[in-house]
Each structure stands twice: as structure tokens, then as C-alpha cells.
Chains A and B, each alone.
Chain A
């Protein structure tokens, strides 16, 4: 580089010495000076160095001029562009036969192994630091994020990692890793840490699936019981209502019938009182007329002896009223 740096002034000094090509030399000088113009696009920022040292650490979008090579040098950077780094093995490899199991294995606080894949996104916050501070910024970023991730996961139980604490982990890792990166002064700002995948190791995947199944089973048990209760109670209410209505019906029927009977008796009794003897005889005889035709009758003389054997021949029962 240093040899190149000094090659150009040599050419510049050629201009006055060669009188034949003086115009050419002036033209060449002009072109050389014009080559210092540079455009910084809207999404870019630039850093300008003079003889290798940074003189303008942050040049904003627009048209600018820098002394031409080799005096000043312009480094343009797309600062807004999100750069992406992946930590943890490629999850897609796992079904294909665990190509790099160790690369994605993390240890959880309760000593479970988990395959985790995290994507970190970052942008350039300080172009000067980004350009000159580290040999491989991407590697620094991924190391910082991975270290914080490993630390955070080593404090967290496996169930929390897989369910409730995912977002908290992402935030914690983002803050802690950002702090490390600021300590290293590599000029980047992390914009997101995203846990893309957390999976149990294939050797224990069935057992993890079974837990999910068990959770669903438990919910199903409860729902079934709820269904049972929902079926049972309305029926019971209906049945209770039915019993009550039946009781009311019974009561009403009983009372009405009693009143009917009483009214009927009252009426008849009133008439009976007018002619008790005749009425009782009539009633008695009428009753006999109704009863006796159906029955077998044996009429015996009060003076003769009764041979009861005649009863045995008949298939009859019941005792005659006295």
C-alpha cells in the first residue's frame, strides 16, 4: 500500500517536466482532482480517512468531496441495512440425521439439553468503530450473543425456555449482548434477538411430545366432566320440577275429589234425613242388585243344616258378608 501511495505523486510531478504533454498533464491533474467527488446514498453513511487516519467519522448522505487517492480515502457503509447472524445449528439438519448436534445444543438450568436456534439482527451504529475496531464484526456479534444466550439458558428451567420465558430471554440476551458489544466498541446496535426454534433433543422428543399430549388429555378430562355436569344438572332440575308439579296435581285432585265427594254426600244425606228408612232400604237394595247378579249364590233355609261340602266343589273364594 505504501508503495502505491507514493506512486501517484510521481505522476503528478511529471506534468511540468514534460513540456510537450503539458495540456495532457493539466487534464490529468484536473481529472485526478475531480475523482475526489463522491456520492453518499440515502441509506449510507461514509467515513473519510486522511493518510490512513480518520478525519470525518460520519459523512451523511449527499454529494461530498475528498482529496483524491492516495491522500484521502472514503469508506461507504449501508448503516440501516440489517445484518443477520445465526447462532445454533441448522434445525433443518436434524431430521436428516443430526449433522451438527453439538452446534445447537444448549444446557438449561435444570440440566436438560435443548437444540436452540437464534437469529440476531444488527445494524451499524458507529461506522468508524464498525470499520476499524474488529477483524470480523459478525463473529464478535455472534460470540457475544451466543455467550449471553448460553448464560441465560443455564439459569432457566427447560419448561420456561420452551414456553413462558421465551420473550424475556430474547430481551435479556439483547440487552446483555448489546452491553458486551458496547464494551468492545465494535459500533453495532442489536435490533432483535429471535429464538427461532427450541426443540428437545431427538432422543427425548417423544417424551416431550407426550407431555404436550398429557396437557391436552387433562383438558379433555375436565371438559368431559364439565359435559357430564352440564348434562346432569338440567335433567335434575327438570325432574325436580316434574315431581313438584305432580305433587301439586295430586293435591288438587285429592282436594277436588274430596269436595266433590262431600258435596255429593251432603246432597244425598239431606235427602236421607227427610226419609231415612225408605232411603236406607232403597240404597241397600239397589246395592244388592248391583252386587248379587255377578256372584254365585246359595240360599239356605235358616232351619236346615248346611252342608258345606257343596262349597268345596266350587272354585270360589271370599267370605259372604253377614
Chain B
């Protein structure tokens, strides 16, 4: 290799080094902070190919959204009820320069966020009743407005102090403190017991109504039938009476005779002892002979 070639090789190597130190790319997911001997000079927001002075260096920051879940903590509402709340915070680095100076890395950023949110949330919850968070009727619930305010407040504070943009603070989970749970379970059991009792009682009520209605209907049917039956029997009796009356009134004397004799047949039986006068119409002939006939 000649001297000339050596110089050319050195020039090319030097040129490549210069290119390497001058050009840089940033991706969609990151910010680039350009520092000059440790001092931040500017922030590059747009992704793409960029140029800097060779003596400047780059710090890269992930600018994507992050989700931070602080540990669940216990808060006290205005009506002195304990509530365990689990949050999530959606945040990202917005001002890399401020971020690197005030916090540096994501772990300590999340610790700072935790502090801001914890104090903001405990102050906000102190003005709300439990009913505003947990209530069977939706119109009482004011949690959304409270969280919007908390988000705005956190965002302003975090942006000003740490260069962090807070996109959203939300309640991820509402729960009751562990020590309250046994009493809650007891209350739930009592409530269920009450509801079960109510179901059974309502069932019995309906059943009784059905039975009573059926009994009443049965009585109505039978009594109506009795009424009809007796009316019919009465008609029969009346017709029969009329027929007998018409027939017998043609010859009452004979009827009397025949009917009386017929009744004897029924009234007198083998246990009867009859004392007959020998003068009686039947025996006259026996005692007096033909004279008895007269």
C-alpha cells in the first residue's frame, strides 16, 4: 500500500466517522435530546434522518404511552368509609429535557406520579361520599368528573415539574379493605337470606291465592248445582202432586179407602197383635152367619 493509498484510506475512514457522528435517525417511538458537552441544546420530536454537529451527542427517550398501576391504597371518603382503590395512569414523556433533569428514569417518574395522584385522590375523595362512587343508581355517581379534574391537575403538575404528560388517571378497581370484608360477607348473606325468604313467601302467597280461588270456585259450582237440583226436584214433586190431586179428587172416598188399606199393609206386620171385636165387619159373618152381612 502506497503512501497515497494510505492517505485515501485514512480520508475515507475519517469521512465515514464524520458521517456517523453527524447523521442520526430517530424512530416514531422516541424523542432525541441533543446535548452539547452534557448540556441539553434541543429536542428532536419528528422521526427521521437528522443532522447534528459531530461533537454533540444524543439521548433517546421512549415517547410511547405507558400504563402505570400504583399499588392499591386505602382512602377515606367524606362519610368516613374506607375504600381500597386501584388506579391506572396513562402517561408519557413530553419534555425530555425537563424529564432528564428532574427525574431521569421511568421508575422514579412513576414514584413521583404516585405521590401526586395519591395526594390528589385522597383530597378529592375527602369531598365525596361513598355513594358518589358506588351506588346502584347511576345518577348519584360523580366519579367521572372527579377523575377528569384529577387527570387535569396531575397533568399540569407533572408537566410543569417533571416534563411528563398525564393522559388519563382512572380508577381500575374499587374494593373494600380486607378487615371490612367479613362484615360485608355477613351483610351479603343476610341480604340473600332476606331475598330467599321473600321469594318463598311470595310463592306461598300465590299458591294460597290459587288454592283459595279454586276452593271458592268449587263451592260456587256445587252450590249452584244444588240450587238447580233442588229446583228440578221441586218441579217434579209439584207435578206429581198435581197429577195425584187431579186423579184422586175424582173419587176421594175410594181413594181414602184404598190408601188406608194400603197403609195397613205397611204399618201392620208380624209383630203386631190385633184384638178383634167379634162384632167387627170382618168377623160379623163369622159370629152371626148370614145376618152379619147386612
Contact = CB atoms under 8 A, between A and B. Distances in A.
Asked if A and B are interacting partners, one says yes
B275 A228 contact: no
A233 B193 contact: no
Interface string A105-149: 111111111000000000000001001111110011001101100
Interface string B30-63: 0000000000000000111100000000100010
Contact of A318 (B19, B72, B248, B273): B273
B19 to A, nearest CB: 6
A194 B271 CA distance: 98
A297 B273 contact: yes
Given A51-B25, A299-B278, A3 B270 contact: no
Given A243-B225, A247-B229, A222 B210 contact: yes
Given A247-B233, A300-B277, A261 B247 contact: yes
B28 A266 contact: no
A92 interface: no
B136 A106 contact: no
B264 A287 contact: yes
Interface in B176-200: 176, 181-182, 184-185, 187-189, 191-193, 195-200
A318 B272 contact: yes
A58 to B, nearest CB: 14
A227 B193 CA distance: 28
Contacts of B267: 318
Contacts of A107: 134, 174-176
B239 A226 contact: no
Given A262-B244, A266-B247, A134 B228 contact: no
A301 B276 CA distance: 9
A210 B190 CA distance: 11
B172 A113 contact: no
A244 B167 contact: no
B257 interface: yes
Interface in B196-213: 196-200, 202-204, 206-211, 213
Contacts of A86: none
A201 B135 CA distance: 20
B173 interface: yes
Contacts of B136: 108-110, 155-157
Nearest to B258: A283
B188 A112 contact: yes
Interface size class of B (residues with CB under 8 A): 35 or more
Most B Cβ at <10 Å: residue of A183, A217, A252, A299? A299
A311 B273 contact: yes
Contacts of B23: 6
Interface stretch (B95-103, B156-164, B216-224): B216-224
A187 B156 CA distance: 26
Contacts of A214: 195-200, 203
B69 interface: yes
A246 interface: yes
A100 B167 CA distance: 30
Contact of B167 (A108, A184, A207): A184
Contact of B207 (A105, A157, A224, A233): A224
B26 A52 contact: yes
A208 interface: yes
B225 A240 contact: yes
B205 to A, nearest CB: 9
Contacts of A52: 25-28, 47-49
Nearest to A290: B265
B143 interface: yes
B279 A302 contact: yes
B223 to A, nearest CB: 9
A241 interface: yes
Main secondary structure of the interface of A (DSSP, over half): helix
Interface stretch (A28-36, A38-46, A267-275): A267-275
A116 to B, nearest CB: 11
A102 interface: yes
Given A54-B28, A150-B171, A204 B261 contact: no
A163 interface: no
Contacts of B69: 143
With a 10 A CB-CB cut-off, give which of A111, A200, A255, A284 has the most chain B CB atoms.
Answer: A111
Given A233-B218, A243-B225, A318-B272, A251 B175 contact: no
Nearest to B239: A255
Contact of B276 (A2, A272, A297): A297
Contacts of B26: 52-53
Contact of A229 (B48, B200, B211, B251): B211
Nearest to B247: A262
Contact of B175 (A102, A203, A246, A285): A102
A247 B230 contact: yes
A250 B214 contact: no
A24 B62 CA distance: 41
A3 B25 CA distance: 10
Interface string A79-102: 000000000000000000000001
Contacts of A305: none
Given A183-B167, A284-B257, A302-B279, A318 B271 contact: yes
B88 A147 contact: yes
Interface in B251-294: 251, 254-255, 257-258, 261-262, 264-265, 267-279, 281-283, 287
Q: Which 4 A-B pairs have the closest CB atoms?
A: A218-B203, A251-B236, A240-B225, A262-B247
Given A147-B171, A214-B199, 14 more contacts: A112-B184, A132-B27, A221-B200, A232-B215, A236-B217, A236-B218, A251-B239, A258-B241, A262-B247, A269-B251, A294-B269, A296-B272, A299-B276, A306-B275
